Structure 1
Amino acid sequence: FIEERVYLCMHKADIEMEMLVDLFHKSLSLITENSKAPMTKHIESVGLRFQLLYLALYLVQSDYLANGISKYLLREKIYHTAFEYFTILHHCPTQSHNELRNDIRRLIRFFSLVHGEKKFCDDSTFKSLFRFLVIRMNLSFVFV
């Protein structure tokens, strides 16, 4: 359902897309070992977790979101949530053979999108964001 909404909203509905971006921001955490983390680390949730992360990263890489702090924060939350999953102790899968195959496909799909991230994370983009932050910080010090 969420995948369909993301693909549909990218072409027409701004309000729905803002709601989905807000959902991604609230669903992903930057805190490691958070007892109140919004996403579970259970072994059976790996497919759904990485499907959601794939959609969020797909949205970040699209032209829909403007280059800004929100986009970079969402990207950082995506990576943190993805790699945080692998901090759990070793568990044996409990899914059926077909479910495991689908989960592995979702993992491969997500990490292939991560591999393509190089073209979206060039130095000039980060330098422009850094300049923007420095300017904003200097202006805020002037008015305080």
Structure 2
Amino acid sequence: MLMSEHTEFYRDTVIGLLQEIEEKERASIDKAADLMAQAVKEDKLIHVIGPGGHSNIGAYELFYRAGGLVPVNAILDPGTLLSMGARRSTIIERTPGYGAAVLEAFNVKDGVLIVVNAYGINAMCIDVALEARRRGVPTIGVTSKAFAE
């Protein structure tokens, strides 16, 4: 079956982006994999947070999947969920100090923390990363540098 011109363009664009990410971020991806493997080896959790809006999807994707990795703590704070109100989610993800309280509420004290966000510059992203550092929890950021610029 032949693909349409638009389907081929989409496929080629996605493949190109994935190849570019692999080339540019190989060392970071390997380091992140090592941190997660070490956490699992030490019987610790991989915490994942998408601090606001659609970023929560990243936490959902890693959590409770058939055949997936078991020691995942999805940090799904009701204040940041779109289902609780999009405007509310936006306000909360921009509120300084909220992220530290969320890590406390979800008992993040060891393991590794993955922060998923399209641009990585809102207050909650910064707060959870700084609070994780203060707690000695290694942090992995999954974001788009290009989108942030």
| Fold conserved between structures, TM > 0.5 | no
* TM-score of the superposed pair, with normalisation by structure 1: 0.24
Higher relative contact order (CA 8 A, sep 6+): 1
* TM-score of the superposed pair, with normalisation by structure 2: 0.24
